[in-house]
Amino acid sequence: MKITTVVEIKSTPSSTIIPIFQDDKLESNLRLIAKKHAIDFQLLRHDFKAASNEVLTTYFKRGTTSSKLLIVGLGEHLEHGPILKTLRSFFKTQNPKLGKSIAVNLAWVAQKMHPMLSEITSVAAIVGSYNLGLYKSDKKTTSKFKLQIISRAPGIPKVVKDAVALAETQVRVMDLVNAPANKLTPKILGNWVINSGKTNGFQVKVLNKKAIEKMKLNALLAVSQGSDQEPAFIIAEYKHKLAKTTVGLIGKGVTFDTGGLSIKGSANMHYMKSDMGGAAAVLGTIELAAKLKLQVNLVAIVPATENSVDAAAIKPGDIIDSYSGKTIEVIDTDAEGRLILSDALSYMTKKYSTDVLIDYATLTGSVIATLGYHAAGLFTLNEKLSKELIEAGKHCGERVWPLPMWSDYEEDLESDVADVKNYSGKPLAGAITAAKFLEVFTNKHTNWAHIDIAGTAFGDTPFGKQKNATAFGVQLSIEYLKQLVEKQKKA
């Protein structure tokens, strides 16, 4: 798929797409569209209200060439998320019918909206063409087309170029999260990062089990000991010579989670291939930052393992060591993500000096009970960082919402026999106590945030009948980093 920008169309495309809002200019815009394309205005006004997801299809002639015209309703809301959802669904549904050349004409949208709509259109066209059938023997290839975005607004070519890079990385992240455990082991994930680093220009080091043992990443080792797949500890670094800030990113990389001896029910266990959604978001972020050459230094760490069941698996009640030196009482072996993250957080804060530290994890069902599938849980004691991440999420449509980190919750993690226990044992405040557990291992980092993406990394999408990957976290992180860089330039 090739996406370019033009100020004026020179040849008639197979299909012309006109996105339009349901606002006070709708009638006058429809009148102009009807006049330009020789359509009956009264019929157009009667049949099309520009509601979200509404599509009116008709045909028009330009000279001797006939072309399809699709007017797409964007509804009343100007927010990034709903518009992306509408256009992504549109491209997913209409892809086979659009032909080889497509023009998206933004002329009937306020010019101040053109940058956002150009970005969304580019992402929607690429991600909306995603094929979920990764392992089908008769896998159908996605139809290829050329897409032109018509706009006279300044800076649109750069917006589209960055959006294409974003969408291509999101598709790679979706492939990672959608891959089953036998196709994505910790070792395979490590190799994926090594190849990405070589292609995009960042450094990668992957520690194998022997190196992990030497490093005494004991919590990671404890979780992995029930699996015949060796763990991996992935460290990736991207540096820019003009960077003024170093951001640390950590992602939970459980490539499959049975729950261990505290085993999960069978009904949805096949979805537990997605328990490395945090790792995928972090690795996608560093790949995209390198592609875009963002003026920031990044360190990304992913502890990768399976959480499986055999005679060697950790047991409820076990006391395990950690990289920090603190001992942990394992109350529930299905609370394993926080165990491997504890080693990653301790390692990051000991080995690297980061101005900001953010971890992403598909950590708890509790956050889904609280926020549903529309926002990720945000946990931080830093009000400034909280506001910045909320603003970044609002801007790009990957929303986060803050939950409390009060000291009151610390008593739920007190252990009689170890420094801390990994689970409160109570059927409430699970996402909060998980965040409080992680806080123990941050070495009191004052600019740390934990983002629980259990409800947003994997869910119902237009791409399949079962739940599948969303690539949540990549755009949120990149938007946050972009805003960070812009503030530094102005300082």
pLDDT at 395 over 70: yes
Burial class (CB in 10 A: 0-12, 13-18, 19+), 451: buried
Can you give the pLDDT at residue 380?
A: 98
Give the tokens for residue 333: 């072996």
Can you give the pLDDT at residue 143?
A: 64
Q: Return the percentage of the chain with pLDDT > 70, whole number.
A: 99
- Does domain 168-490 bear CATH number 2.60.120.20? no
Taking phi over 0 as left and psi of -120 to 50 as alpha, with beta for the rest, 246 belongs to: beta
Domain(s) labelled CATH 3.40.220.10 in the chain stretch across: 2-151
Residue 188 CA from chain centroid, whole number: 20
Burial class (CB in 10 A: 0-12, 13-18, 19+), 311: exposed
The answer to whether residues 217 and 289 touch, using CB atoms and an 8 Å cutoff, is: no
Give the tokens for residue 247: 């951001």
- What is the rounded CA–CA span in Å between residue 44 and residue 121? 24
* Per-residue pLDDT tens digits for 54-90: 999 999 877 777 889 999 999 998 899 999 999 999 9
* Per-residue pLDDT tens digits for 316-351: 999 999 999 999 999 999 999 999 999 999 999 999
* Per-residue pLDDT tens digits for 241-275: 999 999 999 999 999 999 999 999 999 999 999 99
* Per-residue pLDDT tens digits for 364-383: 999 999 999 999 999 999 99
Can you give the pLDDT at residue 318?
A: 98
Q: Average pLDDT for residues 467-488, to the nearest whole number?
A: 96
Who has greater pLDDT, 70 or 12?
70
Average pLDDT of the chain, as a whole number: 96
Under DSSP, the state recorded for 124 is H
Give the E-state strand segments of 76-200 in sequence order: 101-105, 146-150
Who has greater pLDDT, 10 or 433?
433
Domain(s) labelled CATH 3.40.630.10 in the chain stretch across: 168-490
What confidence category does residue 106 fall into, taking pLDDT thresholds of 50, 70 and 90? very high
Q: Average pLDDT for residues 189-211, to the nearest whole number?
A: 98
Q: Average pLDDT for residues 431-451, to the nearest whole number?
A: 98
Can you give the pLDDT at residue 122?
A: 98
Q: Which residues pair with 359 in a beta bridge?
A: 250, 450
- Does domain 2-151 bear CATH number 1.10.3720.10? no
Question: Any residues with CB less than 8 A from the CB of 137 and at least 6 apart, and which?
Answer: none
Catalytic residues, by residue number, are 264, 338
H or E element at residue 82: helix 80-94
Question: Any residues with CB less than 8 A from the CB of 336 and at least 6 apart, and which?
Answer: 223, 254, 257, 260, 307
Can you give the pLDDT at residue 66?
A: 80
Can you give the pLDDT at residue 138?
A: 83
pLDDT at 141 over 70: no
Q: Which has the minimum average pLDDT: 137-146, 150-159, 364-373?
A: 137-146
Give the tokens for residue 250: 């950590």
H or E element at residue 93: helix 80-94
- What is the rounded CA–CA span in Å between residue 248 and residue 254? 19
What count of residues does the chain have? 491
Buried b (16+ CB within 10 A) or exposed e, 158-173: ebbbbbbbbbbbbbbb
Q: Average pLDDT for residues 136-144, to the nearest whole number?
A: 75
Give the E-state strand segments of 11-157 in sequence order: 15-20, 55-62, 65-73, 101-105, 146-150
Under DSSP, the state recorded for 420 is E
CA distances from 465 to 96, 133, 182, 468 (A): 19, 12, 22, 9
Can you give the pLDDT at residue 142?
A: 62
What confidence category does residue 10 fall into, taking pLDDT thresholds of 50, 70 and 90? confident
